[in-house]
Amino acid sequence: MDGESIRGLLQPGERLLWEGVPERGIRLQRSDWYTIPFSLLWCGMLCIIIGPQIRTAAVLPFMGLIYVPFLLAGFYLLAGRFFFRAYRLAGMRYAVTDKRAVIVSRREAVSLMYRQIPMLQKEIRRSGVGTIWFQRPSAYGNGNRRRHVPGVGFEEIAGAEEVYRLLERQMLNRE
């Protein structure tokens, strides 16, 4: 879907009311208040555990391979997830039409008819940049069977309050 214009996705007679993209860059989220300290603790513990093992690496060179998955997980928790999210959002485009909300990513386009949107929730910072959720991220199950369900929404958009009001009006007009 990369490079495809949102206007090319419109149906005959459909009007584009708003079009936008997420704000660029790396941004902190609410969950980072506990994820950052946990990732620092994780990486610190790895340093404490791996440090003494470096001396024995000359004797047993393949022992260091045991720690590679833990190091990769620590790097992802500490920094990688910020870059991954910035990359994911860089390929997103959003639109509000008179008939639906449209989310276009690098791989797919999702159309949400206003009658099908289960909820509308906003998270807006003082700067006016925010996220409008149609379905919040969630998880279900427990233990090894726990599954993550990604959220659906317009993430990190400028003028989020105005877009929220526009979506609200469109949803009310459809009832």
Mark the ranges of the chain whose per-residue pLDDT is less than 50.
2-3
pLDDT value of position 149: 67
Task: Spell out where 37-172 has E strands.
Answer: 93-97, 100-104, 109-113, 121-124, 130-135, 138-140, 147-149, 152-157
pLDDT value of position 146: 67
Fold for domain 6-22+93-174?
PH-domain like (2.30.29)
pLDDT value of position 2: 46
For the chain, domain boundaries: 6-22+93-174, 32-85
pLDDT value of position 32: 79
